[in-house]
Amino acid sequence: MLDADRHALSASVYHSALGIKERELVNLTNYLNNLGTQAALMFGFGLGMFAEVPESTPIVVSYVYYALATTCLGAEMYCLTNATLCTVLGPTLALNGPRGSMHAAVQGMYQERDWIWTSFAIGAVSFSFAMLVYIWVLLTQFGDGWDIGIAGMCTAIFIFCSVVVFRGIKRIFARFYFDMDPAGNSEQIKAEEYLKAQTAASMLTAPSSKPK
């Protein structure tokens, strides 16, 4: 009787842990879907950057512009393809794989998330600087002083907006960041670890059965 109760308790905790992992899986899937959508949008904008620059553009400026445009396309393509693969193959593994596949799928998506986010950030930064270079290419091709002044004003606005965006990103990351101590000294505990601890405590405190 006691063994049956323990098996029932273990199954109940396992299903509860699966429910928690399922929520993590849904959260990661939505996260990567959003990144993939934004990456597709940036990729479309990046294709439009491959327009012919004026013939009077210095060769060095042309190299810098096309290098930034190509970096944007490559980074956003990486983000788009890998986000799509994770959102398709991750849930498929979790639903159709063997026992423990839910945990493996969530862990794998967490690992790929950092690379996908980094590639998206690289593409966005490259796109922004490419647009700044293109502004200078268009406004300085005739050597007019007024055009150069407009380009300088656009650069100043770009720098100001970049500082504001960077400070906003830093503030948001600091607000939602939390650190789990690898040694286990953190006061925070994952729901899955809590369920396992509850299971162990219940099994230790369960009364022992005596054979009749």
Angle at the Cα of 133 from the Cα atoms of 129 and 134, rounded to 5 degrees: 115
**Residues 113-163: tens digit of each pLDDT:** 999 999 999 999 999 999 999 888 888 777 677 778 888 899 999 999 999
Cα distances (angstroms) measured from residue 161 to each of 128, 150, 155: 11, 16, 10
Longest dimension (CA), the chain: 103
What's the rounded Cα separation, in Å, for the pair 105 and 107? Answer: 5
- Closest by CA to 24, choosing from 103, 112, 117, is 103
The pTM of this model reads 0.74
**Residues 57-104: tens digit of each pLDDT:** 888 888 999 999 999 999 999 999 999 999 999 999 988 888 888 888
Mean pLDDT of 182-194: 49
DSSP 63-101: HHHHHHHHHHHHHHHHHHHHHHHHHHHHHHHHHHSSTTH
The segment with the largest mean pLDDT, out of 37-41, 99-103, 177-181, 200-204, is: 37-41
Where do we find the tokens 């990046």? 46
Least confident of 28-37, 70-79, 161-170, 186-195: 186-195
What's the rounded Cα separation, in Å, for the pair 2 and 149? Answer: 83
Q: Could you say which DSSP state residue 56 is in?
A: T
